[in-house]
Structure 1
Amino acid sequence: MHIDFTGRNVLVSGSTSGIGFATAKSFLEAGAHVVINGRTQASIDNALRRLGSLAANADGFAGDLGTEAGSAELFAQYPHFDILVNNLGIFQPQDFFDTPDSEWQKFFEVNVMSGVRLSRIYGPGMVANKWGRIVFISSESALNIPSDMIHYGFSKTAQLAISRGLAKRLAGTGVTVNSVLPGPTLSEGVAEMLRPEVESSGKSLEDVAAEFVTTHRGSSIIRRAASVEEVANMIIYVSSEQASATTGAALRVDGGVIDSIV
């Protein structure tokens, strides 16, 4: 299978690090033009430097796409995308009884409404072109709601509902809409969280991450954290021409954490 995105314009929201960065890099390697998004110009500049020669086919947009104003500013600069990856998201453990309304609203705006707004903005152009891909980056936490992050799990479940409903709304248009559900993934954020244990134990980051997975996600079948590239591979596939019959789906890259056969 040869996946080629030559001539395709792609937006990956929240793409200066982690899964978003790996996804943007993979699109560039497959010939796409990609807009990298982060909240600050410094984060954009750093991401473009990390891309090396691939950055020649990338632009950077510094703005908060978790706000209506940020989305409108993006649209003014980039009025069309063939592929939209709604990756922007935040997470933070917090007990349910200590989580105020403001935190629920923040998670809803960033994790849910960012994808709603961007899909509403760019979907009609895809329909007009009779081709497009919209991908929501959800989480295994959408199905396995974490007891210490109920507000986060709620936002990820909401993405599944929106993705499925929008796929049905766009039936027959040539535009597919899907969700990707990563499990424990060794992103920069997770690496930073595990760094104290790495330094104190003398073990490798991968070994410490594997121990974390077996302790906190005991149903994992691969018994380790996925790499950001492994998650990006699924996003790339579902965004491709070859995935034209896949829509309305929730595609798991969770290492088998979700104990379900469907």
Structure 2
Amino acid sequence: MSTKSKVWFITGASRGFGALIAKDALERGDKVVATARNPTTVIEALGNHPNLLALKLDVTDEAASIQAAKDAITQFSQIDILVNNSGYGLLGAVEESGDKEVKDLFNTNVFGLLNVIRAVVPYMRKQNSGHIINISSIGGYASYPGWGAYCATKFAVEALTESLAYELQPFGIKATTVEPGFFRTDFLDSTSLVSTEKSFPEYAATVGAMREFAASANHAQPGDPTKLSKAILALVDSEEPPLRLPLGSDTVHKITEKNQFVQKELDAWKDLAVSTDYV
């Protein structure tokens, strides 16, 4: 386990996971570049600190992402850890999800993440080290009714991270996708979760039930965000970090359940699957 002081670049660092990770990193002596659409909110959350650089960043702006990475290098000379934490949720049936709603969601959760990765990776390649941590979700491994568009963005994050892990390995750069379950943050608040404008009564039994669950579960989730932050610190200190890090007992349960389902379905359809080869 490495305990050398590190330089972090964290998006969405004014609240939730981002703020907690930044706080813990600063407390142990690391340097942190913490970004948000309004950097004042970063200072309000973390206070003034000599090892903190609060930057304005809308991840959907590629030029701003490039500039933020340059500012980070100017201030701290390197970037050891990139935490792509910016993102939000969209709750609604696939049919209910409007074109603009889905495009806006992908612009932040996927294309914004790519903007920051493209801005930071050249510096990591130059220093022959680094660790990219993309905050996904259990929704990046298994989908649920009402979360189709959101899960699609997180499935994309998982695929991108897996490719990055292979592509960046020769440069000494690691990549991990973190899959939190339901943690007691503001994710289910209106500040982080958007409901589709359309709501069809035909989906009352599925998506409607999910909307009711989300409302009742808000701030009653089983996961402890402070423990997640400590887990991220342990992750970055590991010499051999995993490609995927599930966090939360609910995530572990869902992954196990899905793996069993996939294996059962594969076994049932294997003969037809392999019959399509040339013989």
TM-score range, shorter chain: 0.7 to 0.9
For 1:69, the equivalent position in structure 2 comes to 63
Q: Is structure 2 residue 235 aligned with structure 1 residue 254?
A: no
Q: Is structure 2 residue 227 aligned with structure 1 residue 230?
A: yes
Compute the displacement of 1:72 (Å).
Answer: 2.5
Instruction: Give yes or no for contact 2:80–2:124 (8 Å, CA) kept in 1.
Output: yes
- Matches of residues 76-95 of structure 1 in structure 2 within 5 Å? 76-79=70-73, 80-95=78-93
For 1:201, the equivalent position in structure 2 comes to none
Matched residues in 2 for 1:149 and 1:168: separation? Answer: 29
Matched residues in 1 for 2:182 and 2:101: separation? Answer: 23
Instruction: Give yes or no for contact 2:183–2:223 (8 Å, CA) kept in 1.
Output: yes
Matched residues in 2 for 1:260 and 1:154: separation? Answer: 17
Q: Is structure 2 residue 240 aligned with structure 1 residue 245?
A: yes
Q: Which amino acid in structure 1 is aligned with residue 67 of structure 2?
A: E
Compute the displacement of 1:166 (Å).
Answer: 0.4
Instruction: Give yes or no for contact 1:140–1:254 (8 Å, CA) kept in 2.
Output: no
- Matches of residues 208-227 of structure 1 in structure 2 within 5 Å? 225-227=222-224
Instruction: Give yes or no for contact 2:142–2:255 (8 Å, CA) kept in 1.
Output: no
Q: Deviations over 1:14-62 (max 9, x none)?
A: 011011111111111221110111111332231233xx6xx23211112
Compute the displacement of 1:191 (Å).
Answer: 7.2
- Secondary structure of the equivalent of 2:240? coil
Matched residues in 2 for 1:178 and 1:160: separation? Answer: 9
For 1:60, the equivalent position in structure 2 comes to 54
Distance 1:29 1:69, change over 3 A: same
Matched residues in 1 for 2:171 and 2:57: separation? Answer: 30
- Secondary structure of the equivalent of 2:165? helix
- Equivalences, count: 228
Instruction: Give yes or no for contact 1:137–1:179 (8 Å, CA) kept in 2.
Output: yes
Instruction: Give yes or no for contact 1:134–1:239 (8 Å, CA) kept in 2.
Output: no
- Secondary structure of the equivalent of 2:170? coil
| More deviation, 56-65/161-170 | 56-65
Q: Deviations over 1:85-119 (max 9, x none)?
A: 01111113122222112121111111112222222
For 1:165, the equivalent position in structure 2 comes to 163
Matched residues in 1 for 2:92 and 2:64: separation? Answer: 27
- Matches of residues 123-134 of structure 1 in structure 2 within 5 Å? 123-134=121-132
Distance 1:145 1:229, change over 3 A: same
Q: Max radius of gyration: which structure?
A: 2
Matched residues in 1 for 2:130 and 2:42: separation? Answer: 25
Distance 1:118 1:224, change over 3 A: closer
Of residues 74, 99, 102 in structure 2, which corresponds to 1:101? 99
Note the residue ranges of structure 2 that are not aligned, 5 or more in a row: 192-212, 260-279
Instruction: Give yes or no for contact 2:23–2:46 (8 Å, CA) kept in 1.
Output: no
Matched residues in 2 for 1:189 and 1:246: separation? Answer: 26
Q: Which amino acid in structure 2 is aligned with residue 237 of structure 1?
A: A
TM-score by length of 2: 0.74
Instruction: Give yes or no for contact 1:180–1:234 (8 Å, CA) kept in 2.
Output: no
Note the residue ranges of structure 1 that are not aligned, 5 or more in a row: 194-211, 217-222
Instruction: Give yes or no for contact 1:5–1:30 (8 Å, CA) kept in 2.
Output: no
Q: What's the C-alpha RMSD, in Å, of the aligned pairs? A: 2.4
Q: Which amino acid in structure 1 is aligned with residue 226 of structure 2?
A: E
Matched residues in 2 for 1:41 and 1:148: separation? Answer: 32
Instruction: Give yes or no for contact 2:182–2:250 (8 Å, CA) kept in 1.
Output: no
